Amino acid sequence: MIATFKYLLKSLREYKKDVALTWLFVLLETFCEILVPFLMQFLVQSIQIVSGVADASSLRTFGPLVQWFVDAINQTGVASPFIYGGIMAVMAALAAMCGIAAGYWSSSASAGLGKNLRHDMYYQVQRFSFNNIDKFSTSSIVTRTTTDVQNVQFAFQMAIRGVIRAPFTLIFAIIMSFITSWKLAFVFVAVVPVLIVLLILLATVVHPIFERIFRKYDDLNEAVQENITGIRVVKAFGRQEEEKEKFNAVSDFLYKNFLKTEKIMAFQSPGFSLLIYGSIIAIAWFGSNIILKSNSAEMNTSGLTTLFSYVMQVMMACMFISMIYVMTIISRNSAERIVELLKETPEINQPENALKEVKDGSIDFENVSFAYGNGGKVLQNINLHIKSGQTVGIIGSTGSSKTTLMSLIPRLYDVNEGTVKVGGVDVREYDIESLREAVSMVLQKNTLFTGTIEWNLRWGDENASMDEIKQACQIAQADGFISSFKDGYQTMIDEGGTNVSGGQKQRICIARALLKKPKILILDDSTSAVDTHTDSLIRQGIKEVIPGTTTFIVAQRILSVKDCDLILVMDKGIITEMGNNEELMEKSEVYRDLYISQIGGGDFDAAE
């Protein structure tokens, strides 16, 4: 656990100075603050003397340092309540200033740590290959960079001051108690360990229970979410009453368990008070004995007031120590998740002396096999030679690894065996950026980003002219609907592109890919939501306007691939048949079956 936090703290970098300053000022603040109750006894004593309650001659003596200080003040001759009051006021002011300074630096230190952690993680993710991303899953990466960093940041902000403040308050307060009355100070020595142990024990017992309850609570919320998502099904089957019963049962479970835990937690406050009051009473009783029996020589009544004040400070410090403990436990999981991401090694790296030029769009797969992570092979012994400018269709059921095959071309994954060549050269010899510049892939799970349509299209080419953008959109059959929008190309896309229809989104994505002017274009099931007619217009456009581009069309619809120069039929990671439409109709039963069941059927739903 310590190693985890140590690793995180590496990201402090330029904020180390802020941490050091925080600690310095917290130390000073704590010191000044602890002096205030100590000085209190002199203030009270001086009041006792001026009011005639006590005799100046009956003053007790302290150790040399404190005695020297008391003598020096007595010699000034000024009415001493004001002197002591003045010194205390100065201490309070100093403590306030140091406290503010500590807050100032601790703020920048914790915000800085948060910033650097987010920065390190985000930059790390940018280096990730597809394999790395798959391993963590996007949603987990998002949680790690947002929620987990926030948890750690808040814990750090609490801890950074507390780790100095709480122990030093304890130490200073106990030292000053010893100076005031070494006998009575043993009350603290007895109570403090008990208190700390009890608090930490309580936290250790209760925290896991709470964690369990909250997990159940999350389950409940998940069930609600499921219910809301499926409300049509619930209503269609008339299952409202059963859903209620189910919910109320979990809700009841939560209620009972919350209650159980709170019954344990209910001991904390009275227990804590018991120790405080117990200490006060012990000090009062033994103090009274010491004072009376020694006739104020060992300690006087004003010393009692100092000790009474320290009771509170010492107890609060103990409380804080247990709080830091709990915070550490809470943030531990987050810290571990962050470190795990930071320690991940990016899988695909830039080769040395990388080639920057992709000659043409020819592609060769030579004995290629591939597996995701440690899983089984999803591609086996693929041999395939595509000439530059060919149009290739790929068809096959889900899980037949069509997408995987395509992903190897822009080196989104590295092969396990064999070689993938683009333009006659192994993809691993290219500069990654140049390779991906030449290969344009429209992903199956495609995304548009918040911004205007034009801005989104410019992902393909930052410097494209408006004419080029329009031309790409015309090929992708997107210009028409974009122009029909009120704001045309300046229409804002909502996050995730939810304000355009599925088919429109796909067409914008195709246009974006076309703008790269690639040598190789891969359309991975990119027109599934586009109606058959528009689909054919897009294919026609690509063929006519950019004929030299090698084009791959991965599709579920026979209609989308039937005119390709070459059609691959895939099944379970193997190319089972290849040829053009006529050849496959002849020799492939699978293809023929698909053809018959689909052609003519079209898709009644997709027309817009």
Partner 1 sequence: MPPSRGKAMARKPLSAKESKGTLKRLFSYIFKYYKFEFWMGITCILVSTITGVIPALLTGQIVDQLDTALKTMNEYIKAGNQIAATNTMNEALAYIGIEILIVVGIILVGLTCNYFYQILMSKLGQGTMKKIRDDLFNHMQDLPLSYFDTRTRGDLMSIYTNDVDTLREAISRSLPMLVQSSFTMIVVLVSMFIRSWALAIAVIVLVIPTVLISKTVSGKSGKYFISRQAAMAKTNGYVEEMINGQKVIKVFNYEKRAKAGFDKVNDELCYHATKASRYASLLMPIVNQLGNLQYVIIAIIGAGIIVSGGASWTNITVGTIVTFLSLSKQFTQPIGNLAQQASSVFMAMAGSARIFALIDTPAEKDEGYVELCNAIEGKDGEPIECQETTGKWAWKHPHGDGTITYTWLKGDITFTDVDFSYVPGKPILKNISLYAKPGQKVAFVGPTGAGKTTITNLINRFYDIEDGKIRYDGININKIKKKDLRRSLGMVLQDTVLFTGTVKENIRYGRLDATDEEVEAAAKLANADSFIRQLPNGYDTVLDKAGMNLSQGQRQLLSIARAAIANPPAMILDEATSSIDSRTEKLVQEGMDAIMKGRTVFVIAHRLSTVKDSDVIMVIDDGEIIERGNHDELIAKKGKYYQLYTGNSIK
Query: Considering only residues 27-86, where is the footprint of partner 1 by CB under 8 A?
Result: 29, 33, 36, 40, 43-44, 46-48, 50-51, 53-55, 58, 81-82, 85
Q: Which of 62, 73, 103, 388 binds partner 1 (CB under 8 A)?
A: 103
Q: Which stretch binds partner 1 (CB under 8 A): 185-193, 321-329, 370-378, 395-403?
A: 395-403
The three-class DSSP label of residue 412 is: coil
- Residue 108 touching partner 1 (CB under 8 A): yes
By the 10 Å C-beta count (0-12 exposed, 13-18 middle, 19+ buried), 495 is classed as exposed
Count CA within 13 A, CB hemisphere, residue 499: 12
Q: Cα-Cα-Cα-Cα dihedral of 422, 425, 429, 433, to 10°?
A: -30
What angle is formed at CA 549 by the lines to CA 548 and CA 552, rounded to 5 degrees?
140
**Residue (59 or 366) nearer to partner 1, CB:** 59
**Residue (21 or 366) nearer to partner 1, CB:** 21
Q: Cα-Cα-Cα-Cα dihedral of 166, 168, 170, 176, to 10°?
A: -150
Q: How far apart are CA 398 and CA 524, in angstroms?
A: 12
**Residue (3 or 604) nearer to partner 1, CB:** 604
- Residue 601 touching partner 1 (CB under 8 A): yes
**Residue (198 or 366) nearer to partner 1, CB:** 198
- Residue 337 touching partner 1 (CB under 8 A): no
By the 10 Å C-beta count (0-12 exposed, 13-18 middle, 19+ buried), 332 is classed as middle
Rg of the chain (C-alpha set): 37
Q: Which two tokens stand for residue 148?
A: 């987990």
Place of tokens 């031309």: 471
Q: Which of 17, 207, 239, 470 binds partner 1 (CB under 8 A)?
A: 239
Query: Considering only residues 529-548, where is the footprint of partner 1 by CB under 8 A?
Result: 531-533, 536
- Residue 158 touching partner 1 (CB under 8 A): no
Integer angstrom CA distances of residue 470 from 384, 437, 438, 515, 549: 35, 20, 21, 10, 19
Query: Considering only residues 273-332, where is the footprint of partner 1 by CB under 8 A?
Result: 273-274, 277, 280-281, 284-285, 288-289, 291-293, 295-296, 301, 304-305, 308-309, 312
253: left (phi over 0), alpha (psi -120 to 50) or beta: alpha
Q: Which of 557, 566, 570, 575 binds partner 1 (CB under 8 A)?
A: 557
- Binding mask of the shown chain, residues 208 to 237, with x at each position contacting partner 1 by CB under 8 A: -------------xxxxxxxxxxxxxxxxx
Taking the complex as a whole, how short is the minimal distance between the CB of residue 313 and partner 1, in angstroms?
A: 11
**Residue (3 or 463) nearer to partner 1, CB:** 463
**Residue (260 or 587) nearer to partner 1, CB:** 260
Q: Which two tokens stand for residue 425?
A: 């050269």
Taking the complex as a whole, how short is the minimal distance between the CB of residue 485 and partner 1, in angstroms?
A: 16
Taking the complex as a whole, how short is the minimal distance between the CB of residue 1 and partner 1, in angstroms?
A: 26
Query: Considering only residues 453-492, where is the footprint of partner 1 by CB under 8 A?
Result: 459-460
Question: Which among 315, 277, 312, 286 has a CA at the least distance from the CA of 193?
Answer: 315
Taking the complex as a whole, how short is the minimal distance between the CB of residue 197 and partner 1, in angstroms?
A: 20
Cα 602 off chain centre by: 45
Query: Considering only residues 351-380, where is the footprint of partner 1 by CB under 8 A?
Result: none
Query: Considering only residues 494-513, where is the footprint of partner 1 by CB under 8 A?
Result: 495-496, 501, 512
Q: Which of 8, 98, 187, 482 binds partner 1 (CB under 8 A)?
A: 98
Q: Which two tokens stand for residue 524?
A: 């991975």
Taking the complex as a whole, how short is the minimal distance between the CB of residue 249 and partner 1, in angstroms?
A: 10
